[in-house]
């Protein structure tokens, strides 16, 4: 009987998970009158009643402590045309908001213009998980754009991609 090795190589782990397509979001908040945010692909729904969503963020994130302090955040679900926004908010140590058109949400969070949809959330819970934090937010407001012709921004195998134009399965 063969035993599986319990040592998982980080490169293999990332490669395996890279074969799982994910949507791209930018998580934003406002702290002391300044907008903050970061690109996030680990976003998902948790519960319908109450309406809860979650994302994971590196424990050493420079942006997340401000969001924790604010107690609120917005999830900007990016459209297929927002590759530049995704790349801009993925960078560290730069002015991520340079040239970004945004407005305040009902809770006072930055909403990025052109996003497919947005969710306005209050911090509900936070859990330590290895080198990341799992953050759960309760959705207090949302906007579903008329997006009949707009696709979401997806990430798969280390690159951005679009949904194929296939009929329903």
User: What is the pLDDT averaged over residues 41-56?
Assistant: 96
Residue 5 pLDDT level (bands cut at 50, 70, 90): low
Cα separation, 22 vs 4, in Å, equals 28
Q: Residue ranges per domain, the chain? A: 21-157
pLDDT value at position 167? 44
CATH of domain 21-157: 2.30.110.10
Q: Is the pTM of this model over 0.85?
A: yes
The proportion of the chain whose per-residue pLDDT surpasses 90, expressed as a percent, equals 70
> Residue 110 half-sphere exposure, CB side, CA atoms within 13 Å?
23
Write the pLDDT tens digit of every residue in 117-168: 999 999 999 999 999 999 999 999 999 877 565 889 999 888 898 776 544 4
Dihedral of CA atoms 118, 144, 52, 109 in degrees, nearest 10, equals: 30
């Amino acid at each position: 009987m063969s035993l599986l090795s319990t040592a998982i190589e980080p490169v293999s782990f990332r490669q395996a998970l890279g074969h799982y397509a994910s949507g791209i979001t930018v998580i934003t908040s406002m702290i002391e009158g300044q907008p903050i945010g970061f690109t996030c692909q680990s976003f998902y729904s948790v519960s319908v009643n109450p309406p809860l969503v979650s994302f994971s963020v590196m424990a050493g994130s420079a942006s997340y402590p401000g969001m924790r302090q604010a107690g609120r955040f917005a999830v900007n679900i990016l459209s297929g045309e927002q590759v530049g926004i995704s790349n801009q908010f993925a960078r560290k140590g730069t002015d991520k908001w340079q040239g970004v058109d945004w407005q305040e949400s009902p809770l006072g969070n930055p909403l990025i213009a052109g996003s497919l949809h947005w969710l306005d959330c209050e911090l509900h819970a936070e859990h330590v998980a290895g080198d990341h934090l799992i953050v759960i937010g309760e959705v207090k407001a949302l906007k579903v754009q008329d997006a009949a012709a707009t696709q979401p921004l997806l990430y798969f195998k280390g690159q951005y991609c679009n949904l194929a134009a296939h009929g329903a399965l």
